[in-house]
Amino acid sequence: MQFPERFSNLPEYAFPRLRALLDPHPAGGEVIHMTIGEPKHPMPPFVADVLAANLDGFGKYPANDGTPALLEAIGGWIARRYDVDLGPERLMVLNGTREGLFNAALALSPETKNGKRPVILMPNPFYQAYTMAALALGAEPVYVPATAETGFLPDYAGLPAEVLDRVTVAYLCSPANPQGAVASRAYLANLLALAEKHDFRVFADECYSEIWRTAPPPGAMEVAKDQGTDPERVLVFHSLSKRSNLPGLRSGFVAGGAEGIRHIRKLRAFAGAPLPLPVQAVSTAAWNDEAHVEASRALYHQKFNLAERIFADVPGYRTPEGGFFLWLPVPDGEAAALKLWTETGLRVLPGAYLARKVDGLNPGAGFIRVALVAPYDDTQRGLETLRDCLYGRD
């Protein structure tokens, strides 16, 4: 029996790789998990009541694109957050951003570009759904380094014109996963101008947008509005997983031009799964409320400050501008992760598992990703354990 070649060269996903690396060895102490980006802050206090009041919705087929109330709540949040007014025809509810980031490429990326194989750009390191979308389409994934030299954001403008002319989609994550870098207004404006020049779409993955240190990150859609970019040129993706500490709700949205959203909705109608109505009711309440978001952000600020104190003397340490990961420099990420596990019981993710080797170099190889999602005391214990094991006690 044959299997498709387009996925034949994929490495194992990051977390099966991590288990293969660590699990053959006993833990060196009490186990501390700092690998996966699963928020542990309290859920919004209204979740249980809203869910209970809408349980009968599990007995009905849900609206494919989102209920009118949910689309109105999302549109209201976008207007408050980014000063952009969108009608419901420019929005669609998602089963989390992963579904949207994958399916939007299937719905909108053409089979050829200028008579050639299309290119899909992505930062390196990157969220794994980006490359899966490219491979599923038969497009060429081009991994663009997002390193300290480029401010941990990809320099798409530095690519050759013959590559840019084949691009159909460019993914961008801001705040970036895993590095926490935030794309400035100038960066976004230049990227959108590049997209107009070479006729491609920008898929802005903004699911960490509400976890920031000093100022709210700018959004691609507000920059597009300010400089008059074609609304069909940019799509933005958001989620309640990080913003509202509801990763199990699997609820997000995509916003873009009306024609692009129409194509994504059509694909969903044939091959997607809309959110159950009780989930949409909880989502409506979450997008309408900011108090729980502000409370959660305050907890992350405490942990950002904690990390700054603990790693103050570590060469190369930088506190992220946004998101909730530390991207810590080490000589070798796999060796560091194995050492932490076998000597202390702390689990972290080797940075190489989030990137691809290009021209013999993997830009994540000299890092580990550490998630600051646990309660404060657990985070403090984990970070101090990590510092003492890898960098030496003060």
Residues 6+ away with beta carbon under 8 Å from 154: 121, 122, 123, 124, 144, 145, 146, 172
Distances (CA, A) of 337 to 146, 190, 330, 361: 22, 37, 10, 19
Token representation of residue 71: 């689309």
Phi/psi at 388 (5° precision): -65, -35
> Over the stretch 247-261, which tens digit does the pLDDT of each residue have?
999 999 999 999 999
Collect contacts of 377-383 with beta carbons under 8 A, ≥24 apart: 378/32, 379/34, 379/303, 379/306, 380/306, 380/310, 381/32, 382/32, 382/34, 382/346, 383/306, 383/307, 383/310, 383/311
Burial class (CB in 10 A: 0-12, 13-18, 19+), 356: middle
What pLDDT does residue 393 have? 61
Average pLDDT over residues 208-233: 97
> Over the stretch 92-101, which tens digit does the pLDDT of each residue have?
999 989 999 9
- Indicate if the pLDDT at residue 394 is higher than 70: no
Average pLDDT over residues 270-280: 94
Q: What angle do CA 178, 182, 183 make, to 5 degrees?
A: 120
Residues 6+ away with beta carbon under 8 Å from 41: 245, 296, 299, 373
> Over the stretch 49-64, which tens digit does the pLDDT of each residue have?
999 999 999 999 998 9
What pLDDT does residue 52 have? 97
Residues 6+ away with beta carbon under 8 Å from 312: none
Give the H/E segment covering residue 297: helix 291-310
Q: Which single residue is written with the structure tokens 């998990």?
A: 33
> Over the stretch 318-347, which tens digit does the pLDDT of each residue have?
999 999 999 999 999 999 999 999 999 999
State the pLDDT confidence band at 78, using cuts at 50, 70 and 90.
very high
Token representation of residue 83: 């000063």
DSSP result, 48-81: HHHHHHTGGGGGSPPPSS--HHHHHHHHHHHHHH
Establish whether the linkage from the previous residue to 175 is cis, with ω within 30° of 0: yes
What pLDDT does residue 8 have? 74
Token representation of residue 372: 């600051």
What pLDDT does residue 4 have? 81
pLDDT, the chain, mean: 95
* End-to-end Cα spacing for the chain: 58
Establish whether the linkage from the previous residue to 44 is cis, with ω within 30° of 0: no
Give the pTM.
Answer: 0.96
> Over the stretch 183-219, which tens digit does the pLDDT of each residue have?
999 999 999 999 999 999 999 999 999 999 999 999 9
For residue 12, give the DSSP letter: P
Instruction: Kindly list the structural domains of the chain, giving each domain's residue range(s) and its CATH number in brackets, ordered by start.
Output: 5-42+292-391 (3.90.1150.10), 47-288 (3.40.640.10)
> Over the stretch 133-160, which tens digit does the pLDDT of each residue have?
999 999 999 999 999 999 999 999 999 9
- Contact status, residue 202 vs residue 236, Cβ threshold 8 Å: no
Token representation of residue 209: 């947008």
